[in-house]
Amino acid sequence: MDIVTVVGARPQFIKAAVVSHAFQKAGFQERIVHTGQHYDPGMSDIFFSELGIPSPEINLDVGSGSHGAQTGAMMIKLEKYLEKRPPDWLVVYGDTNSTLASSMVGAKLGIPVAHVEAGLRSFNMRMPEEINRIVTDRLSDLLFCPTQTAVDHLKTEGMTKGVHLTGDVMLDATKYFAQKAQESRPLHEILGPEISTFFLATVHRAENTNDPNRLSAILDAFRQISETIVWPVHPRTRNLLERFDVSKNVVIIEPVSYLAMLTLITHSTKVLTDSGGLQKEAVWLGTPCITMRDETEWTETLEGGWNRIVGADTTAIVKATTLDPHGPAPMFGAVAGGSASSHICRLLAN
């Protein structure tokens, strides 16, 4: 079994890590292609070493650019690579431009495509990720769904062939790496001894960072929150923040590794984010989440108020920080018969 795995952004490295481990146990040959969508070594290389992912066979070095330019460059370079040695399966993850480019190239070359994290929908077509998901699902031969909700979305759209409920590989990763994070990246090494009680924030989506009104509203909310807010900031967002007045209770730090992020989530009082994966990780680790978007793909996280959708509304963000969830945190994403990664291996082998 010869598999080509395509990754290009931080969430994909994490998902691929646990599946790659399963591939190794199953005796599959895996070739990893890094598109270079995240080209900063601090955002990319460290994940491969930290998570034990085999080094990429090739890095396409695409870098940043407009959606069209970035996706087109990926398709041109990936097509040349795959034409030389077509694999048995092309495995893609999530909903980035790397996902879209890979699925289109695979489909046009007649290489079977397997989509991990299929069937997610925000129903917001202004999101580039939503377009990428829909197209990738249509082009994929195997659709590995993390939840029954994702399966139902595909059924509604007329897709039932090749659809499988595998569970969530992010749950595999969170379970596997959470304990390792506590041992290898303790809190005092990340923040120093002076910060022990804090909220954790991440803001990176274009809908928030590219809209001055939304970003200003989020910063106003941070200003009204009395707690210390620890905010790992991507370099692009840091440049944007130079135009705004960031309050003194906000501690801006450099982007952190996956293990360090798990440690921060575990020790934070609440998480404020516009990330998709971080919503799930927070809930799975028992930390209430406040999502600064207008919708979520992960509706399961909303149970018991463990995740609250507040958009970029200053008042709603501040109010949500005063509310606590009720009942146990929802543990979704698991299915009977083994981990999501083992289910994916078995389905590919068959």
User: Are the C-beta atoms of residues 263 and 50 closer than 8 Å to each other?
Assistant: no
Shortest CA distance to 169 belongs to which of 340, 346, 344? 340
Same-domain pairing of 39 and 122? yes
Both tokens assigned to 159: 């897709």
**Strand runs labelled E in the chain:** 2-7, 29-34, 58-59, 89-93, 113-116, 142-145, 163-165, 199-202, 229-232, 250-253, 271-273, 289-291, 307-309
Looking at residue 258, its amino acid is Y
Same-domain pairing of 240 and 189? yes
Shortest CA distance to 177 belongs to which of 29, 54, 47? 47
Distance of CA 70 to the CA centre of its chain: 19
User: Could you list the pLDDT tens digit for every one of the 350 residues in the chain?
Assistant: 999 999 998 889 999 999 999 999 999 999 999 998 876 655 566 777 888 888 899 999 998 888 999 999 999 999 999 999 999 999 999 999 999 999 999 999 999 999 999 999 999 999 999 999 999 999 999 999 999 999 999 999 999 999 999 999 999 999 999 988 988 889 999 999 999 999 999 999 989 999 999 999 999 999 999 999 999 998 888 999 999 999 999 999 998 989 999 999 999 999 999 998 999 999 999 999 999 999 999 999 999 999 999 999 999 999 999 999 999 999 999 998 889 999 999 999 98
| Full-model pTM | 0.90
Q: What is the CATH number of the domain that holds 278?
A: 3.40.50.2000
Same-domain pairing of 264 and 289? yes
Same-domain pairing of 163 and 306? no
Q: Which of 115, 204, 234, 343 is catalytic?
A: 204
Distance of CA 129 to the CA centre of its chain: 11
Q: Residue 218 is part of which domain span?
A: 179-320
pLDDT of residue 337: 85
Cα(23)–Cα(2) distance, integer angstroms: 10
Same-domain pairing of 309 and 343? no
**Residue 267 in domain:** yes
Cα(291)–Cα(328) distance, integer angstroms: 19
User: Are the C-beta atoms of residues 151 and 119 closer than 8 Å to each other?
Assistant: yes
Q: How many domains does the chain have?
A: 2
pLDDT of residue 346: 96
C-alpha torsion sign, points 151, 137, 341, 180: negative
User: Are the C-beta atoms of residues 282 and 204 closer than 8 Å to each other?
Assistant: no
Same-domain pairing of 238 and 101? no
pLDDT of residue 218: 98
Is 115 a residue of the active site? no
